[in-house]
């Protein structure tokens, strides 16, 4: 276990020194902020339009003098805009996170083989299983930090924009994290057979909701659909603890299967 943690720590250190990864993370955050500001402007625009309509129809009546019907309409528009902003925020953050996850996990082992550093590490009393699990764990730690950052960002953003958080949002960071770990485990497995870029593309495309629960393939092949809170926020669906627990188990089951397959492949892989 100690060896796995050592490899994981080294992996985190290596990731934090990768300019491309840091660039991707920053770009992802910047993109999220850009979309959020754009959506926030749209919200202000809706508010303005609504007020203008009221003023045009009755210049003597301000928004605080609206009728009950108008107030309800106004509240609904505001809620709709707020929900759309939050959904968009997580959609962009999730996409950025997925790109970061694909980068981290598809290159974790492949880059060590390409550079030849793996030869030195495996000449020490480190088994291939320890090495692979350590690399995965390192990636998990970085993705956890990224999910935490994103969650903090939405809290700060919601606070500054006086947004009321959608009920689904409290589960969103966790589901996003689970989705990225699933993506990552598949990308890592595929990178042991294919070039990391091809592995990343395949991992991303493979599980975008082609299978649903009654189909047995749902339990073997990935399905990221339910982990995407974008539609759930828009539809106003309510996720309960049971749903989240089931999704978490699904993700854990998927990750374990992918890691077992990766270990099977890695044990016999030629490392030069």
Partner 1 sequence: MSAIRIENLSKTYDIRTTPAVRRLNLEVKEGEIFGFLGPNGAGKTSTIHLLLNLIRPTGGAAWLFDRPVGETEIHRRLGYLPESINLHDYYRGRGLLNFYAALCGVPPDARPARVAELLKLLNLEDAAEKRVSKYSKGMVQRIGFAQALLHDPNLLILDEPTASLDPVGRKEFRDILLELKQRGKTVFISSHILSEVETVCDRVAILQNGELKRMGTLQELSSGRSTRFVVKGLPAPLMEALATTAVQVTLAQGQATISCPDEPLRQTVEQLLRQHGVEIVRTETETQSLEEIFFATITPPPKL
Site membership for partner 1, residue 57 (CB under 8 A):
no
**In this complex, which beta carbon is closest to partner 1, that of residue 116 or of residue 236?**
116
Give the nearest distance from C-beta 4 to partner 1 in angstroms: 11
Closest CA to 174 of 137, 128, 228: 228
Q: Which of residues 20-49 bind partner 1 (CB under 8 A)?
A: none
Site membership for partner 1, residue 209 (CB under 8 A):
no
- Out of 127, 160, 208, 235, the only residue in the binding site for partner 1 (CB under 8 A) is 127
Give the nearest distance from C-beta 124 to partner 1 in angstroms: 4
Provide the 10 A C-beta neighbour count for residue 52: 10
Tell me the per-residue interface mask from 87 to 116 with partner 1, x by CB under 8 A, - otherwise: ----------------------------xx
- Out of 124, 162, 205, 216, the only residue in the binding site for partner 1 (CB under 8 A) is 124
Site membership for partner 1, residue 126 (CB under 8 A):
yes
Site membership for partner 1, residue 125 (CB under 8 A):
yes
Site membership for partner 1, residue 19 (CB under 8 A):
no
Site membership for partner 1, residue 271 (CB under 8 A):
yes
Asked if residue 11 lies in contact with residue 134, where contact means CB atoms within 8 angstroms, the answer is yes
- What the block records as the tokens of 38 is 């754009």
Asked if residue 28 lies in contact with residue 101, where contact means CB atoms within 8 angstroms, the answer is no
**Gyration radius (Cα) of the chain, Å:** 23
Q: Which residues contact 141 (CB under 8 A, 6 or more apart)?
A: 8, 12
Burial of 30 (0-12, 13-18, 19+ CB in 10 A): exposed
Asked if residue 165 lies in contact with residue 86, where contact means CB atoms within 8 angstroms, the answer is yes
Write out the residues near partner 1 by the rule CB under 8 A: 3, 6, 10, 13-14, 17, 115-117, 119-127, 268, 270-272
């Amino acid at each position: 276990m100690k060896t796995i943690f050592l490899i994981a720590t080294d992996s985190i250190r290596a990731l934090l020194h990768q300019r491309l990864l840091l660039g991707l993370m920053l770009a992802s955050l910047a993109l999220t902020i850009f979309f959020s500001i754009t959506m926030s402007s749209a919200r202000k625009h809706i508010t303005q339009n609504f007020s203008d309509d009221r003023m045009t129809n009755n210049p003597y009546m301000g928004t605080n003098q609206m009728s009950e019907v108008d107030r309800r309409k106004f509240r609904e528009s505001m809620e709709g805009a707020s929900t759309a902003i939050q959904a968009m925020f997580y959609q962009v953050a999730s996409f950025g996170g997925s790109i970061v996850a694909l980068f981290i996990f598809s290159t974790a082992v492949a880059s060590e083989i390409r550079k030849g550093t793996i030869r030195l590490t495996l000449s020490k009393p480190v088994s291939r299983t320890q090495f692979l699990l350590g690399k995965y764990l390192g990636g998990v730690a970085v993705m956890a930090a990224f999910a935490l950052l994103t969650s903090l960002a939405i809290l700060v953003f919601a606070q500054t924009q006086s947004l009321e958080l959608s009920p689904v949002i409290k589960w969103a960071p966790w589901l996003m994290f689970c989705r990225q770990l699933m993506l990552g485990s598949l990308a890592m497995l595929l990178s042991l057979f294919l070039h990391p870029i091809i592995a990343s593309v395949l991992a991303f495309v493979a599980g975008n909701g082609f299978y649903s629960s009654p189909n047995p393939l749902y339990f073997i092949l990935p399905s990221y659909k339910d982990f995407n809170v974008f539609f759930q926020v828009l539809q106003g669906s309510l996720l309960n603890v049971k749903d989240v627990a089931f999704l978490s188990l699904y993700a854990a089951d998927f990750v374990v299967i992918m890691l077992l397959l990766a270990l099977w492949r890695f044990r016999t892989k030629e490392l030069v």
